[in-house]
Amino acid sequence: MPDERASHTAVLVCQGRAAANERVAPGRFADPTALTLLRDDERELVRRVREGAPPAGWRPRIEYEMVRGSAEVLVPRTIAIDDAVREGPRAQVVILGAGLDGRAWRMTELHDSETYEVDQPASQRDKRERAVALGDRQPHFVPVEFGRDDLAATLESAGHRADLPTTWIWEGVVPYLTPDEVRGTLDEVAARSAPGSRLIVNYQEASPGMNAGLAVIRAFTLVFRRASPWRNEPWRSTWTPEQMRDLLTGRGFRVVRDDDLLTLAAALPMKLGQRGSLRNSRVAVADRD
């Protein structure tokens, strides 16, 4: 992703969380920070989704369905990661590819933590502007371009301590990195993970639906004579659970669980409308002994 371009996917994810807030899996999912992090025009689409009022026209309807579907997928993913964070060490928490994540504000368990948000520079500048509305409690912002910048050295400069256990959150990022970028990032994470650290990884398995998604992007471009807003953030890697386990164990982490989102969603009070997307997205939790 070019440095000068903030992530559109980060906005879509935030819209999905705002649409789901206390509405999907009520009692288990809430994210009041999401709407605050959105701009006025981005909130209008959230309002429509929450009211179940799809707009007229193909292009507005596609954007509506993207947010509606995103809301369903994000709920089990967020709950699983939040639960894993609560169970892990919290003196230091690093969010890799933070986007418009609101955990540093909404999770009371992190209010006494040293929280570091790592993201590419343009997205982070955008986030910092939006986060002013959330108040004075701010994480350490660490600008890093994955696959190019030295993550370990930049974190050290920001105050992160490699001799203390860290909980790492890597959500919604791995598919957008090449296999070599994933391996390189894991090497740097491992180098700064003291015994007792926890790594939470959200990743994607390959599926026939991936080709359908690429076709949708091409159709969007042809029908509306404009580039798809997601064209600059294509998926670059998928992993089987066995491959992810090998990646993690090879770097000193012990996988304690690895679940697909469909299994996680089935245990929640929510409808399962996005079964394909839920089935192929996974959350692995790994500890360093």
Q: What is the pLDDT of residues 209-268, one digit of tens each?
A: 655 555 555 555 455 544 455 455 688 999 999 999 999 999 999 999 999 999 999 999
Percent of the chain exceeding pLDDT 70 equals: 90
Percent of the chain exceeding pLDDT 90 equals: 83
Average pLDDT of the residues of the chain:
91
Structure token pair of residue 141: 């912002």
The Cα–Cα gap between 114 and 12 comes to 27
The Cα–Cα gap between 241 and 263 comes to 14
The reported pLDDT for the residue numbered 1 is 45
Q: pLDDT band at 73, cuts 50/70/90?
A: very high
Backbone angle region of 76, left / alpha / beta, with phi > 0 → left and psi within -120 to 50 → alpha = alpha
Residue with tokens 């997307």: 277
The reported pLDDT for the residue numbered 228 is 52
The Cα–Cα gap between 92 and 86 comes to 12
Q: pLDDT, tens digit, for every residue of 127-174?
A: 999 999 998 889 999 999 998 999 999 999 999 999 999 999 999 999
The Cα–Cα gap between 212 and 222 comes to 15
Supply the pTM of this predicted model. 0.92
